[in-house]
Amino acid sequence: MMGPVAFYRDRVFLPVMNRALDNDETRRIRAEVCTPLAGEIVEIGWGTGLNLPHLPAAVTRVWAIDPIERGRRLAAERLAATRIPIEFVGLDGQRLPLDDESVDAALSTWTLCSIPDPVAAVREIHRVLRPDGALHFVEHGRAPVEDERVRRWQDRLNPLQRRIGCGCSLTSDIPSILEQGGLQIDELTRYYAKGEPKTHGALYQGVASRP
C-alpha cells in the first residue's frame, strides 16, 4: 500500500513537474544542453523523459536513472516516439549500476538540487565517464552573490521548497558540487530562466569533464 509521502511524490509532485518543466523556455534549454551528446549516455534524473525529444541521432543508447518509476508511465508517448534504446538501470544517482569508464557522456537537467548527496552523484558520474567524456547539465541553484536580496529569499523559502519539492533545494552551489565531485568545469553560463521567479530560476548551464 502506498504511503502518504509516496502518494504525494508519485501522484501530485511528478505530474506537476511533468508540466511545469515542459514549456518554451525549458524546451529551448534542453535542446541546447542535449545537442552535443553522442554515443552511450547516462541520464540521472530521467524523470518523465522530457529530454527525449531533444536527444540527437548521434546518441546510441541511454542508461536512465530515476527514483520515481511511475515517471515511465507519464513518458509513454515520448518513449514510443524515440528510436533511441532506453535502458532503465537504477533508481539512485548516488550509486550508478554501471562499470567504470563505460559511458561517453552524462546528462543532468534540474536534478542535482534534489539528490540527498549531490557530490556523491557527481563522483559516480566521474567514475563511469570515459576519459574523454563529459557531463552536460543545466541546474538551478544559489543566485549570484550580487543578488543578495534573491539569496535571502532563497534562504527563507528553502525549508518549504524542500518539503513540497521532494527534497529540492534552492540554495545548491552547483559549481562547488561539480568540483567537489572531481569534475572540472569547461563551460558555464549563469542566467535567470525567463518566466520563473529569480528564487527558483537561477540557472547554471554548461559542460564538465574529467580532469
Mean pLDDT of the chain, nearest integer: 97
pLDDT in tens, 197-211: 999 999 999 999 999
Share of the chain above pLDDT 90, in %: 96
CA–CA separation, 143 and 152 (whole Å)? 9
pLDDT-derived band of residue 85, with 50, 70 and 90 as boundaries? Answer: very high
CA–CA separation, 156 and 167 (whole Å)? 15
DSSP 69-90: TTHHHHTHHHHHH--S-EEEEE
pLDDT-derived band of residue 4, with 50, 70 and 90 as boundaries? Answer: confident
CA–CA separation, 117 and 83 (whole Å)? 33
Q: What is the mean pLDDT of residues 24-46?
A: 98
Whether 1 shows a pLDDT value over 70: the answer reads: no
Whether 101 shows a pLDDT value over 80: the answer reads: yes
Q: What is the mean pLDDT of residues 90-98?
A: 94
pLDDT-derived band of residue 103, with 50, 70 and 90 as boundaries? Answer: very high
Nine-digit cell at 167? 527534497
Q: What is the pLDDT of residue 189?
A: 98
pLDDT in tens, 57-79: 999 999 999 999 999 999 999 99
For residue 19, give Cα distances in angstroms to 24, 136, 142, 146.
11, 23, 23, 31
CA–CA separation, 181 and 171 (whole Å)? 17
Outline where DSSP puts E strands in the chain: 39-44, 59-65, 86-90, 103-109, 129-140, 184-192, 202-209
Nine-digit cell at 28? 529551448
CA–CA separation, 18 and 23 (whole Å)? 10
Pair 81, 56: CB distance under 8 Å? no
Whether 127 shows a pLDDT value over 90: the answer reads: yes
**Domain spanning 4-209, CATH class:** alpha beta
Q: What is the pLDDT of residue 3?
A: 85
Whether 22 shows a pLDDT value over 90: the answer reads: yes
Whether 120 shows a pLDDT value over 90: the answer reads: yes
Cα-based torsion angle of the residue sequence 19, 174, 165, 198 in order, rounded to the nearest 10 degrees: -70
pLDDT in tens, 137-184: 999 999 999 999 999 999 999 999 999 999 999 999 999 999 999 999
List the chain domain ranges.
4-209
CA–CA separation, 87 and 158 (whole Å)? 34
H or E element, residue 121: helix 118-128
Q: What is the pLDDT of residue 137?
A: 99
Q: Can you say how many angstroms the Cα of residue 91 is from the centroid of all Cα atoms in its chain?
A: 14
